[in-house]
Every structure is written in structure tokens, then in C-alpha cells.
Chains A and B, each alone.
Chain A
Amino acid sequence: MGKKTGKQTYHFANPPVVISTGTVAGPFEGQGPLHADFDEILTDPRNNETTFEKAERSMLTKACQFALDHASCATTEVDLFLSGDLLNQIISSNFTAVTLGIPFLGLYGACSTAALSLGLGAMLLDGGFAGTVLTATVSHNSTAERQYRFPTEYGAQRRPYQQWTVTGAGAALLGYDRPGPKITAVTFGKVIDLGSTDPLNMGAAMAPAAADTIHQHFEDTGWDPNAFDLIVTGDLGKIGLDLCRQVLAENGLNLGENFSDCGVMIYDLQKQDVHAGGSGCAASALVTYGHLYKRFARQELNRILLVGTGSLHSTTSFQQGENIPCIAHAVRIEA
């Protein structure tokens, strides 16, 4: 167990490089403050496909293609494809894997998939099991809303603490011998249930999981949170971020200005009518692979901790009155 530090953290002896990324954002996300950082912004939420599900998988395929093209890498050079999404039986990833033809490991981590796949991919590389790994994830507002909530045209009033599922896809190519930011450590989280049952308030449900993983990461590594330019959670939204900050402070970890959330960063919360912010797999994927990756390239960032957050309920489990189990995985990325 030479690579394990503390209870849940793994350090990489030979840190894998994030060689390139690819991002495709939906039209609404393209109106947000990070629009300049995406490879492509769709003009049509259906992306000229007949169904939203097909649109979702076309975005995922495109994001993967962008990541491969930016590194001039052929699909045949990639050893493994790690991907997950929100739809039942992760169909978007399954169908994209058909198109790409790369050996595939399907992941389900809900909205934590970006961090989960980065961490697992880095482990496969550092363990010597693969030389190049493609990781990706996708979410679409219209497919997620109809699977988890109401039909899109149904006239329901949204709660002020509700979040907006981000439409977009992000992919990252991991490997060696190329320039780029490196994945130096990962902390895999435990599933936490603090009694939340409201599927409309995902941020509040996931905040304790994020706090647990962040706390564990610093306990395992003994590092100072101020050593990070940015500690960014996946999709807690405004309310979840505040709750996470509170829970951490109660446990003696006071995070400052360098603590934020991808779901808060991706939209203009004043102008875009998204209430508490963004959610979904694409929230952390678009912000990390688009915005933050470009900031690494511009040398504005030196070290970040990405804490992907996911809520692991299903429509069946919450209709049967079960609590919402949540998870968070932390990935340390350094220039």
C-alpha cells in the first residue's frame, strides 16, 4: 500500500498528465460567463438530432473527439475509455463507446463522474495498466429533467433553492510524456447520508459528502488549504456551498476566498434564471475541462482541488421514501 496516504487518499508516484480536453456546451451555458472557454457552443439544444437522448450522446462523442484532436491522438492509441452520465444504465456513455471503439469502463458516480473518472484514470496510468486513458461525462437538461422530475413543458414553479441541470459534455485525455497539468493525488469519498429526502434540493443533500471528503483529504495529506489556488466543488450550488462551508468550519476547517463551486461559476446567477446554480455531470466537467484547464494553460492556476459531488438516489428510491445517499471524490491537479 505504498501509494496510499492516510485513510482515503492516494498519491501518484508518476503523476499522469491531463494532455488535452474537449468541451461542448449547450446554448444556455453559452450565454454564461464562461462561454469563451468552451470548444463548441450548440445553437440547438437538440443538436439536429431527433431526440434529446441522441443529442446528449452526440455532445459526448464530440467532446471526446475534440480532446483527441487537440492532442492529435487516434482512437487506436487510447487504451481505455472511462465515462458515465445520468441516464438510466448510462446509455449516453454506452452508445458513445460504440462510436469510439475504445475498450470501455462504464462508471456511475452521478454528478461526481468527472472527478471519479479522473481519479480512476490516473490510478490506471500510475499503476502501469494503461498508457493513455480518455475520460468523459455528459448531462443534458431536457433528458435529466424528464427522467428525474417533470416533463419539460410542464408548468411547475421552481423552488428558490432548486438548481438547473447543465447541458454539456467534457472529456479529458490522460497520459504521459506531454506537457500539461498533472494529477498528483486523489481522495475517494464515502457515501454519506445526512437524512436529506428532497430531490429538489440536491446541493443541501450533497454538501455533507463534499465536506467529509475535503476534510479527509486535508487530514490524510496534512496540507494547508491555503496552498491551493482553488478548491472547487462539483455542483453544490449557492446553498449547498454555504452549507458545506458551515459544516467544514464546525469541524475546524475554515476555507477562505479560494473555495467555490462549479455550479455557481458556470452561470450568471443574477441574470440567468437558474435559482441556486447549475447541477449535473457537465457542471464540473465544463468548468474544469473548459475554464480551469485554460487557466492552467495561461499559468493563472498552479494547484487546484476538484471535489466532484454526486447524489446517488434513483426516482424509485426517493418515491419509496428513502434518503438521498451522496458521494464526493477529490482530485488534486497541479501545474
Chain B
Amino acid sequence: MAKPKLTPAQQKYQNKVKKAEPKPDYLRNALSAFFSGGLVCLLGQALIDFYTKVMDVPPKEAANPATATMILIGALLTGFGVFDQLAKYAGAGLAVPVTGFANSVVSAALEFREEGLIYGVCAKMFTLAGAVITFGVMTAFVFGLIHAIFH
């Protein structure tokens, strides 16, 4: 993935491009990600409270059904074509929580269903999420090892 070295003419043009590219509105994006992300977390907390208080799930385990519910919501919003509309404004606020993970899996599954159940949906479902899963598993392994040695 080494970038080819630029000639002076190429470098000169790329400097021009950098100047011409409008910058995203970082402040507005950060603020809307902060509030929409906060809203998602609030919803997650409300679900945890709901599972502990109403469904009598032990507090330590209530995060699991709450996460599953958030994934379900993310998946449904993707399926109904609403998620990408919301993400346009929310940005990282929707992408970083587990809703973003659900969206990356479901959108890929939807996109490739025309290529069949096995080679389309099942094989391509993780084209976007695959990297996240790989890093997640690797990190879990390393920290699990550290935990096992020092605990």
C-alpha cells in the first residue's frame, strides 16, 4: 500500500487540490455526533433499566439484551431505508455505537442478496464489518491473555 512518490508537477497540483477542497464543518459535525451519540447511549441505558426493572434481568447481564435490541433497531432502520438518512446528520454518533455495526452488516447483506443466499448475502454480509470483527477478536484475545497472566 506504499503510495507512489509524487513528481514535482504532481505535488504542485495536489497542493492546489488541497486548497480547493472545501473542508467539512468539523464543529457542526462534532456537535451533532456528540448529541446524537448521547441520544443513542441514553436509549441504550433506558433499555438496560427496562430489562433490569421490568424483565427482572440481573443488572450485570442486562447489557446483553439491551445491545441485542439496539442491533435490532439499527438493522430495522437500515432495512426501511431510514438509517442512511439519519447517519447523514448524526455521523459518528450513529456509526460508533453498535447501531453502526448493525448498519454495516445489514446494508451489505441487502445489497448483495441478488447474488444469491450463499455467495451473496452470507459471503458478502461482512465485507464492511469483517475488519471490525477481526480486530475485535484479536483485541479480545490479547487482553484475555493479559488478564489470564496477571490475574
Taking Cβ atoms with an 8 Å cutoff, the residues of A that contact B are: 50-51, 53, 146, 150-161, 193-197, 201, 204, 208, 239, 242-243, 246-247, 320-323
Distance A53 CA – B78 CA, assembled complex (angstroms)? 21
Is the CB–CB distance between A197 and B107 below 8 Å?
A: no
Complex contact B86–A201 (CB within 8 A): no
Docked-complex contact B14 and A194, CB < 8 angstroms: yes
Nearest B residue (CB) for A201: B21
Q: Chain B nearest CB: distance from A211 CB in Å?
A: 10
From known contacts A150-B128, A153-B110, A160-B24, infer whether A196 and B103 are also in contact, taking CB-CB under 8 Å: no
Return the contact of B22 from the options A153, A193, A239, A323 (Cβ within 8 A): A239
Q: How far apart sit A247 and B15, CA to CA, in the bound complex (Å)?
A: 13
A184–B134 Cα distance when bound, in Å, is: 58
CB of B137 closer than 8 Å to a CB of A:
no
Distance A196 CA – B24 CA, assembled complex (angstroms): 19
B111 with A193: CB separation less than 8 A: no
B97-146: which have CB < 8 Å to A?
Answer: 100, 103-104, 106-108, 110-112, 114, 128
How extensive is the interface on chain B, given as a class?
Answer: 35 or more
- Checking A151, A196, A320, A322 against B107 with a beta-carbon cut-off of 8 angstroms, the contacting residue is A151
Cβ-closest chain B residue relative to A193: B10
CA distance A157 to B20 in the complex (A): 20
Cβ of B84 under 8 Å from chain A: yes
**Secondary structure type dominating chain A contacts:** loop
Q: Verify A151–B4 contact, CB threshold 8 A.
A: no
- CB pair A194–B9 under 8 Å, yes or no, is yes
Q: Determine which residue in B78, B83, B111 has the highest number of CB atoms from chain A within 10 A of its CB, and name it.
A: B111
With known contacts A153-B106, A160-B22, A204-B21, A195–B13 Cβ distance under 8 A: yes
A contact residues around B14 at 8 Å (CB)? 194-196
Q: Are B21 and A151 in contact (CB under 8 A)?
A: no
CB atoms of B16 and A243 under 8 A apart: yes
Question: Is B62 located at the chain interface by the 8 A CB criterion?
Answer: no
Q: How far is the CA of A241 from the CA of B83 in the complex (A)?
A: 32
- A196: min CB distance to chain B, Å: 7
Q: Are B100 and A155 in contact (CB under 8 A)?
A: yes
Q: Check A160–B23 contact: CB distance below 8 A.
A: yes
Q: A51 — which chain B residues lie within 8 A by C-beta?
A: 114
Q: How far is the CB of B27 from chain A (nearest CB, A)?
A: 14
What are 24 pairs between A and B in contact, CB < 8 Å? A53-B114, A150-B128, A151-B107, A151-B110, A151-B128, A152-B107, A153-B103, A153-B106, A153-B107, A154-B103, A154-B108, A155-B95, A157-B87, A161-B21, A193-B10, A195-B6, A196-B17, A201-B17, A201-B21, A243-B17, A246-B20, A320-B1, A322-B4, A323-B10
